[in-house]
Amino acid sequence: MDFSKAMNVSSSGLTAQRMRMNTISSNIANINTTRTPEGGPYRRKDVVFEAIPEAKSFGEILMSQPDRNVQRVQVTDVHVDRGAPLLKYEPDHPDANEQGYVAYPNINLMEEMANMIQATRSYEANVSAMQATKDMAMTALEIGQ
């Protein structure tokens, strides 16, 4: 694999994990949002990743060795949770229903924080891979001097 392909794969990972972190941040920020423009409480969102081949053209696919097919990651969808909201008894809340229950988003803060840590670690791993690729390219240039 050449240096540019390695950088492309790592940068696709950075982009995907940044999107994931933004989505998780949105979930955490809206953990108590009971009213949205769509109506009802905020709905938890989660990104969907897909591995796609790095090769750009048919010729590149034919020339590549089967055991060396490099794939990059791409965000293909943002899944919106359609599960039931959490109902809490708060009769004085402005969004309470006739029985006094308020619909809150079905978001678990601990789960979101664990997902954020995982996304952060994945982001850091891609940064390390890019740094290693850059170091190898610089070493290869120094050999020619």
Q: What is the mean pLDDT of residues 128-133?
A: 92
Report whether pLDDT(61) > 80.
Answer: no
Instruction: Please tell me the distance from the alpha carbon of residue 21 to that of residue 1, in angstroms, as a whole number.
Output: 29
Task: Provide the phi-psi class of 39: left if phi over 0, else alpha when psi is between -120 and 50, else beta.
Answer: left
59 by DSSP, 3-state: which? Answer: helix
Across 71-80, 87-96, 117-126, 135-144, least confident range: 135-144
Q: What is the mean pLDDT of residues 111-138?
A: 94
In angstroms, what is the C-alpha Rg of the chain? Answer: 22
- Please give the share of the chain, as a percent, with pLDDT higher than 70: 88
Q: From residue 67, give the alpha-carbon distance in Å to each of 24, 58, 64, 72.
A: 35, 17, 9, 15
User: If you average pLDDT over every residue of the chain, what do you get?
Assistant: 88
